[in-house]
Chain A
Amino acid sequence: DPKIIQKPKYLVAVTGSEKILICEQYLGHNAMYWYRQSAKKPLEFMFSYSYQKLMDNQTASSRFQPQSSKKNHLDLQITALKPDDSATYFCASSQGGLNSDYTFGSGTRLLVI
């Protein structure tokens, strides 16, 4: 059973539209993250959350907004989509503290046309 669920696995969106990428983890982890992977940037950090609080934000555009309704959820809302947003978006989680390796979800492959 996957311990981090990302939905959907594949997503095609029209330029200018808005989409929400879902991430839920069942590892009991306290920290969650979003990364983006494309040909331009292999693993680009976007956000980190700890206990549902935003800890770090490296995304220049406010079009990307994380949403954490529960401790084990961290969704990513993307508005006004552009073709350049096409990438695979990985959610990850970690226990936090000294034992902090990541477990990655299977990713959402987003194509903006």
Chain B
Amino acid sequence: GEQVEQLPSILRVQERSSASINCTYENSASNYFPWYKQEPGENPKLIIDIRSNMERKQIQGLIVLLDKKAKRFSLHITDTQPADSAMYFCAARRNNNNRIFFGDGTQLVVKP
């Protein structure tokens, strides 16, 4: 299988500061790394992803970094807003498998 470790489990930041969530994976064959945001009472929704042929990807205020050597990837949210408060899940998928393996989630709280 694949083990995805995600830290921290809870992250509290001040509005307009940045927030970083870090994940590691075990299987070097993993090649796809999506990030999901889940708001209370809602389903998880894809917000950004990165494939193994990239090291960095940015969509507006979201930046994902991938270090394949260290088997580490991270999500950085710049200029956080209270609306960014949610549960965030990192995930990894191997090339020959449809299944996505999820981290245990990070509860992000952005304080006004």
Query: Which residues of A line the B interface, CB within 8 A?
Result: 31, 33, 41-43, 45, 48, 50, 55-56, 90, 94, 96-98, 100-107
Contact = CB atoms under 8 A, between A and B. Distances in A.
B105 A102 contact: no
Contact of B34 (A55, A98, A101, A105): A101
A105 B44 CA distance: 9
B35 to A, nearest CB: 10
A50 B96 CA distance: 13
A53 to B, nearest CB: 11
Given A43-B102, A100-B93, A101-B46, 17 more contacts: A31-B98, A42-B104, A43-B44, A45-B99, A45-B101, A48-B99, A55-B99, A94-B100, A96-B98, A101-B100, A102-B36, A102-B44, A104-B43, A104-B44, A105-B43, A106-B42, A107-B43
